[in-house]
């Protein structure tokens, strides 16, 4: 993982110390010795994480953080405050200033790398979302990104797996009003609970009398339903090796006991935020796929979708010796509707037609807009006789009820011609099936329109 880290400290020796460690992990490092320089570097872009000293002359770290977080151009850059040891009040002030995380001096190597890597991952998700938001104008994503965690109304759903009662009580108290917390003392039960409920974070204690907590981490990572749930390990002093093993297995972060409330809150916040970004990204991918196979005007499937699925439906019907029928519908004299009522009027007719079409077919039928005013319905398990009845029902429903156009209650008469064909026993192909339906439609048109012609076997 490569990323650009900005180290801000007024003491050059401190800057160098962090710089050397980060360079050893192949991060790119930028430096600044005061607040204004740090802000300028962030504004120029390309900073992935800021490591920010609190105590600096003139402008202190809190002020720098506040300014970065209040500027939309820099608000998305994760900020880690570096505070003096045991300065709990500093941590509180840091969180209030919008800091994403904090480290205490002297900075421990494992903590430094875990947090920086975790925030770099969060930043890359945010960047991806910002990119998509700007290319797809996805309002939902813009809103998600601009939302401040503190003002988010939904508390994260969290599972704590810890068998020590006193520890559980402490954590419950710390997260009161900050998380919707479920607790279990049994790691086996915890595994099933994590698989059955969609948690936004799972916290696992390392202190079990006779159970290896890393086994649970690896089980959660290997199960589909829990693969992406953030895991925070609650470890004891001196368990560095276990933590490193855990990080290799895919845990996302860890906390050392005794647990500090501000630290717990900050770490949980980062993990939950990342999970929510991730979920949003996945949803937007799904949405993109849906858009690619959906007709924007009518909400029916589009021709691309039909082309990729008709062969499958056809093959399945032939293999199972089941009937399959297709109907092609074409609105009569649609050009004159467009001419008389404009394209908006034409669009209204198409939408209403699609609505009536959908109402008259089953869920397993594949209804799509084939192009222009032509629609195709593929009906599995339907023979020619039934398909013709369905087509006739649709034709009648279109002809009997005039279509409303515009806001002033104007209505117009619309009719439709339909061609129906069915898979033939023996040798048949998708192309031949479609060709017969097309031929039937042509006959319906030339026979006077507003009628169904079936080329049933
Ligand atoms: Mg300083």
251-277 confidence digits (pLDDT tens) = 988 999 999 888 898 889 888 988 888
pLDDT in tens, 105-121: 888 898 899 889 888 88
Ligand 1 centroid, distance to 56 Cα (angstroms): 5
Judged against a pLDDT cut of 60, whether residue 151 lies above it is answered with no
pLDDT band (50, 70, 90) for residue 37: very high
Give the Cα separation of 168 and 345 in Å (integer): 64
* Interhelix angle 213-222/187-196, nearest 10 degrees: 20
Ligand 1 centroid, distance to 23 Cα (angstroms): 21
Give the Cα separation of 187 and 220 in Å (integer): 11
pLDDT band (50, 70, 90) for residue 149: very low
Ligand 1 centroid, distance to 55 Cα (angstroms): 4
Give the pLDDT mean for 118-134. Answer: 77
Give the pLDDT mean for 210-225. Answer: 92
pLDDT score at 426? 82
Give the Cα separation of 136 and 419 in Å (integer): 38
Q: Strands 324-331 and 366-371, how do they pair?
A: unpaired
Give the Cα separation of 33 and 6 in Å (integer): 11
Fold of 303-455: Alpha-Beta Plaits (3.30.70)
Give the pLDDT mean for 412-431. Answer: 94
Give the pLDDT mean for 49-77. Answer: 93
pLDDT score at 115? 87
Judged against a pLDDT cut of 90, whether residue 368 lies above it is answered with yes
Beta bridge partners of 295: none
pLDDT score at 317? 92
Which residues, 6 or more positions from 112, have their beta carbon under 8 angstroms from its beta carbon?
Answer: 18, 21, 22, 103
Give the Cα separation of 400 and 409 in Å (integer): 17
pLDDT band (50, 70, 90) for residue 139: very low
> Is pLDDT larger for residue 438 or for residue 240?
438
- Are the C-beta atoms of residues 380 and 364 closer than 8 Å to each other? yes
pLDDT band (50, 70, 90) for residue 409: confident
Look-up: residue for tokens 């050059």?
12
Ligand 1 centroid, distance to 102 Cα (angstroms): 14
Q: What's the token pair of residue 47? A: 């900073």
Look-up: residue for tokens 């993990």?
271
pLDDT band (50, 70, 90) for residue 73: confident
Give the Cα separation of 352 and 411 in Å (integer): 12
Ligand 1 centroid, distance to 259 Cα (angstroms): 26
CA distances from 54 to 20, 64, 125, 261, 285 (A): 20, 9, 27, 19, 40
- Choose, from 19, 239, 263, 373, the residue flagged as catalytic: 373
Backbone angles phi, psi at 301, to 5 degrees: -65, 160
pLDDT band (50, 70, 90) for residue 393: very high
* Domain range 1-135, CATH architecture: 3-Layer(aba) Sandwich (3.40)
First vs last C-alpha separation in the chain: 63
Ligand 1 centroid, distance to 34 Cα (angstroms): 9
Look-up: residue for tokens 């895919």?
250
Judged against a pLDDT cut of 70, whether residue 324 lies above it is answered with yes
Beta strand residue intervals within 313-432, DSSP E? 324-331, 366-371, 374-380, 403-405, 410-412, 416-422
What is the model's pTM? 0.61
Residues of the chain with CATH 3.30.70.270: 303-455
Omega cis (within 30) before 258: yes
Judged against a pLDDT cut of 90, whether residue 363 lies above it is answered with no
Q: What's the token pair of residue 279? A: 């979920």
Ligand 1 centroid, distance to 270 Cα (angstroms): 25
* DSSP 3-state of 449: coil
Judged against a pLDDT cut of 50, whether residue 150 lies above it is answered with no
Q: Strands 253-256 and 416-422, how do they pair?
A: unpaired
CATH annotation of 142-289: 3.40.50.2300
Judged against a pLDDT cut of 60, whether residue 421 lies above it is answered with yes
Give the Cα separation of 200 and 156 in Å (integer): 6
- Are the C-beta atoms of residues 211 and 241 closer than 8 Å to each other? no
Ligand 1 centroid, distance to 8 Cα (angstroms): 9
Indicate if 348 belongs to the active site: no
Give the pLDDT mean for 71-90. Answer: 84
Residues of the chain with CATH 3.40.50.2300: 1-135, 142-289
pLDDT score at 329? 97
| Mean pLDDT over the full length of the chain | 89
Q: Which has the minimum average pLDDT: 156-170, 187-201, 236-250, 365-379?
A: 236-250
Q: What's the token pair of residue 345? A: 């009027």
How many other C-beta atoms are found inside a 10 Å radius of the C-beta of residue 396? 14
- Are the C-beta atoms of residues 445 and 419 closer than 8 Å to each other? no
Look-up: residue for tokens 């013709």?
388
């Amino acid at each position: 993982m490569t990323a650009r880290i900005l180290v801000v400290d007024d003491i050059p020796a401190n800057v160098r110390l962090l710089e050397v460690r980060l360079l050893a992990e192949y991060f790119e490092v930028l430096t600044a010795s005061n607040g204004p320089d740090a802000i300028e570097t962030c504004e120029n872009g390309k900073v992935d994480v800021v490591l920010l000293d609190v105590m600096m002359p003139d402008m202190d770290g809190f002020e720098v953080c506040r300014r970065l977080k209040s500027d939309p151009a820099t608000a998305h850059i994760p900020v880690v405050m570096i505070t003096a040891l045991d300065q709990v009040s500093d941590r509180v002030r840091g969180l209030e200033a919008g800091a994403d995380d904090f480290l205490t001096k002297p900075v421990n190597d494992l903590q430094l790398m875990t947090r920086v890597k975790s925030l770099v991952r969060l930043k890359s998700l945010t960047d991806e979302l910002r990119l998509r938001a700007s290319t797809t104008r996805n309002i939902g994503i813009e809103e998600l990104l601009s939302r401040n965690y503190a003002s988010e109304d939904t508390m994260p759903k969290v599972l704590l797996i810890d068998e020590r009662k006193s520890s559980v009580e402490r954590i419950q108290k710390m997260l009161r009003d900050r998380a919707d917390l479920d607790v279990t003392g049994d790691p086996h039960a915890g595994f099933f609970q994590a698989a059955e409920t969609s948690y936004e974070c799972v916290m696992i204690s390392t202190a079990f009398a006779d159970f290896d907590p890393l086994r649970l981490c690896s089980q959660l990572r290997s199960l589909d339903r829990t693969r992406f749930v953030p895991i925070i390990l609650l470890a004891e002093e001196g368990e560095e090796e276990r933590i490193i093993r855990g990080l290799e297995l895919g845990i996302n972060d860890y906390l050392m006991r005794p647990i500090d409330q501000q630290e717990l809150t900050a770490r949980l916040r980062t993990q939950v935020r990342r999970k929510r970004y991730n979920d949003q990204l996945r949803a937007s991918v799904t949405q993109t796929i849906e858009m690619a196979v959906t007709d924007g005007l009518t909400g029916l499937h589009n021709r691309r979708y039909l082309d990729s699925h008709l062969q499958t439906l056809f093959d399945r019907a032939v293999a199972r010796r089941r009937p399959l029928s297709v109907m092609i519908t074409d609105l009569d004299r649609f050009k004159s509707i467009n001419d008389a009522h404009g394209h908006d009027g034409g669009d209204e007719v198409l939408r209403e037609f699609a609505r009536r079409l959908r109402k008259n077919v089953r869920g397993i039928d594949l209804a799509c807009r084939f192009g222009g005013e032509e629609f195709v319905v593929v009906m599995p398990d339907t023979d020619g006789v039934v398909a013709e009845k369905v087509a006739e029902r649709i034709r009648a429903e279109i002809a009997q009820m005039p279509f409303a156009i515009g806001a002033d209650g104007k209505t117009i008469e619309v009719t439709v011609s339909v061609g129906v064909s069915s898979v033939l026993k023996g040798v048949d192909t998708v192309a031949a099936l479609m060709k017969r339906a097309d031929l039937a439609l042509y006959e319906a048109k030339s026979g006077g329109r507003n009628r169904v012609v079936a080329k049933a076997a």
